[in-house]
Structure formats: structure tokens, C-alpha cells
Amino acid sequence: ESAALLKAIIENAIDGIITIDDRGRIESINPSACKLFQYDPEEVIGRNVNCLMPPPDKELHDEYIERYQRTGKAHIIGIGREVKGLKKDGSVFPFRLGVSEVQYSGRKIYTGFIHDLTREKEAEEKLKDHA
């Protein structure tokens, strides 16, 4: 059955996958994203996605979503961006964020794809040190 297949794909994805509602509330989070951010699903479901980011984005993220919904002008949707995530232990890490907008049973949700860049960034730094 295709719903079970989709669930298996999301559960086993290497990248983190988070869905939010149109006000930024987390509705689902896959195991990869849980591991990256160091939370269990029940600790973050229902909370604002801004709990997973450091300032200044933390304070501005509601506005980002509102502005997009008001103007239709995307800054990340369909583009992607390198941003910083905030883990439960307070440490910050770089990742590539992709966001898509999904119309699901009559309402709008957003899906975020999280590709950890910690290793790539560390390798870059090492190369710089040797230069």
C-alpha cells in the first residue's frame, strides 16, 4: 500500500524531514531530524519550529512565514538556503534547508528537508587551516 511505503521512506530517510502548519507549529518529525536536533518527537510536536533555531531567525521566523503567506514571495521555498540549527544541548550546526509548500486535505502545510553540513564545514575549515 502506498501510504505504508511513503511512511517507510520518510522513517528511513537520511535527511531530516519536518512538517509544520501555516503558523509554524511542528506536526511531524522523522527519526533523522530527531537525532540531529536531539529531541524525541513528543518533545517538539505542537511547538513552534523556531525552537530549533538560534537567534536572529528564532525571533523572525513567524514573520518569514506570515510575509510569505501575505506576499507569495519565497526566499527559501523552491530555492534552498544554508542555515543554522539549534540542538537541544544548545549547540548550533549548519545545514542545507529545503522547504516545499503542500496543499493537504484542504489546508496548507510546509515540509522542510534538512541536510546536515557539519562534516562538510569541518572539512572546509581544515583545508583553510592548511592553506
Q: Which of 21, 77, 87, 94 binds ligand HEM (CB under 6 A)?
A: 77
**9 versus 74: smaller Cβ distance to ligand HEM:** 74
Secondary structure (DSSP) of 34-95? HHHHT--HHHHTTSBGGGGS-TTHHHHHHHHHHHHHHH---SSTTT-EEEEEE-TTS-EEEE
The identity of residue 16, as a single letter, is: G
For residues 31 to 60, the per-residue mask of contacts with ligand HEM, x marking binding by CB under 6 A and - elsewhere, is ------------------x--xx---x---
For residues 99 to 128, the per-residue mask of contacts with ligand HEM, x marking binding by CB under 6 A and - elsewhere, is x----------xxx----------------
